[in-house]
Chain A
Amino acid sequence: MTEPQRTVLDEPPPFLGTWRRVYTVVVIYLACVISIFYWFTQSFAPSLTP
């Protein structure tokens, strides 16, 4: 049975220079998405005096 590929490549990301920066962008993106959803929820929340 063949072994999985011998050479393991660990290259830098294609943008932002380091993986740490890429991860930070993903976390900031998540915070923005949740904030937008929160605003969305609040904007259309039911009110007893429409």
Chain B
Amino acid sequence: MRPLDWVVMFGWLVFLVSYGLWRGRGSSSTQEFMLASKTMPWYAMGLSIMATQASAITFISTTAQAYVDGMRFVQFYFGLPLAMVILSATAVPIFHRAKVYTAYEYLEHRFDAKTRLLVTIIFLISRGLGAGLALSAPAIVLSVVLGWPFRVTILIMGGLVVLYTTLGGIKAVTWADVQQMTVIMLALVMAFAVAISMLPPDVSFRDALKLAGAAGKLNAVTTTFDWNDRYNIWSGLIGGMFLALAYFGTDQSQVQRYLTGKSIGQSRLGLLLNAMAKVPMQFFILFIGAMVFVMFLFVRPPLVFQPVVLEQVQASSQYAAIESRYEQAFDQRQAAARGILASRAGALQDFRAAQQNLDAARAEALKLSDTSDTNYIFLSFVTHYLPVGVVGLVIAVIFTAAMSAISGEINSLATVTVIDIYKRHLAKESTDLHYLRASRLATLFWGIYAMVFASTAKGFGALIEAVNQVGSLFYGGMLGVFVLAFFVKRCTATGAFVGVLAGEAAIFTTARFTEAFLWYNVIGCAVVVAVGWSISAIQARN
């Protein structure tokens, strides 16, 4: 990073935090702090929901996913628009009419206090883990790229988030997200333009598509069903729909966003904006990863993308031999790529053989430090090839994207802690000012918790999968209890309570046999509904 990049990066950080504080100023009641007094327009809600999802992990890991594995990850989002439609028709009006602060408050209206408490605890555990992960994962990567100590990176990110979330509440979080989302799109378009502009003059955009396709990177839709294949159209449509239903329908970090809407209609429009924009946006992000791969067919990428590991590898006695094989494989692959463009017979086989040699050389280098560099691919591209100033902007966006995800999470954790635990069980009759102070303290607590958790957590191979896997262990059970609440009129409180426990047991058992985590949500939800319905039927008979 050059001086202009640092100026741009800190300028954006200061602007975003100040803007959030300004928009969130005067949050003087719990309703304003937690629900923005129900004044949010649909576009702010929609963009905020998208920004929370488009965390740093989206930039770092999704692009790398396409680089390594192709674009098939986009199928993960196919069920999301269906979930948005279902939630707009069901959960949005139910939550609005119930006049609740949290989704779990509704469970006591419908069932009883113990079911509400059980689901609240599941949410606090899963989202608490998620908040720590959302902070630690990008901090690991950014600390390497910026050359900062890991804990200092966490302290800066976490400290800024705690500052504007504690003072401004949901209004600060939502309006900061709107700005964030705009700049995210700008940064993505710039990254895409640079990847294309780095292609040799005789390689057109169509040639780039041909090469990406030949390398298997444009595999956006896989129609064959395989239980152990994480991403195909079936797991995406069914499993992805259940995951999105659970995430947007039962996770307070999302429910709270659409509870801030002026009306049911505004909340619905916010969700439907997400339904329309999310899949193309993810496609575009993955496509950038595929184009970066094509660019690196002609511009030699580093042997290892993680700069610190690269230094370790370079210090090794085996480096010269590995680097030589790597260079040779790169030249072979480039020649084969040109052969593919010239429609030379056997060029594709040569390309695959060269790619295998290249991957083998990289694997050998990475084995020396026993690590993965997947999460550094996009950042390596950004820091080496984007123009000065733009590098700072993209790094700043990644920085604040992480902050945006965390702010939404700690805000919702604080809301649930105060509404579903503190006010419900510990201090039932206090003033609004008292609960507002408690909310700010709870925000501070969860912010510090996330920082402490993050600073002790270790990195994950592919961040985005880790986050979704942790979520999938809990979402199925939570979704099941809301399905019972919304659609099974005869379901009893005991049926719902035992159903959730059975659903979670089923998910953890399934997780021992398959890593195809999208199905956990389907299985968990089905078990909760089946057990809840059966127990309620037995109780009714007795």
Decide if B37 is an interface residue (CB 8 Å cutoff): yes
User: A14-50 toward B: CB 8 Å interface, digit per residue (1/0)?
Assistant: 1000010011001101100110011011011111111
Q: Bound state CA distance, A3 and B393, in angstroms?
A: 42
Q: Which residue from chain A places its CB closest to the CB of B349 in the assembled complex?
A: A48
CB closest chain-B residue, reference A29: B276
Chain A binder among B80-88, B107-115, B305-313, B504-512:
B80-88
Q: Is the CB of B423 within 8 A of A26?
A: no
Provided the pairs A4-B259, A34-B221 are in contact, do residues A9 and B264 lie with their beta carbons within 8 angstroms?
Answer: yes
List residues of chain B with CB within 8 A of the CB of A23.
85, 88-89
Nearest CB in chain B: distance from A41 CB, A: 5
Across the interface, do B100 and A50 meet the contact criterion of CB distance under 8 Å? no
Q: Are A40 and B218 in contact (CB under 8 A)?
A: yes
Q: Across the interface, name the chain B residue whose C-beta is closest to A39.
A: B221
Complex interface: chain A residues within 8 A of B280 (CB): 33
CB contact under 8 A between A44 and B96, given known A37-B74, A50-B348: no
A19 to chain B, nearest CB (A): 7
Contact A48 B348 (CB under 8 A): yes
B81 partner, pick from A5, A27, A50, beta carbons under 8 A: A27
A46 contacts which of B81, B215, B276, B344 (Cβ < 8 Å)? B215
Asked if B472 is at the interface of the complex by the 8 Å CB criterion, the answer is: no
Contact B348 A46 (CB under 8 A): yes
Min CB gap B244→A, angstroms: 12
**Across-interface contacts of B259 in A (CB, < 8 A):** 4
Given contacts A41-B218, A49-B345, contact A11 B265 (CB under 8 A): yes
Q: Which residues of A contact B (CB under 8 A)?
A: 1-6, 8-14, 19, 22-23, 26-27, 29-30, 33-34, 37-38, 40-41, 43-50
| Closest A-B pairs by Cβ, 7 of them | A44-B213, A9-B263, A37-B220, A38-B221, A10-B264, A44-B218, A30-B81
Q: Which residues of B contact A (CB under 8 A)?
A: 29-31, 35, 37-38, 74, 78, 81-82, 84-85, 88-89, 93, 96-97, 99-101, 209-210, 212-216, 218-223, 233, 259, 262-265, 268-269, 272, 275-276, 279-280, 283, 340, 343-345, 347-349, 423, 430-432, 435
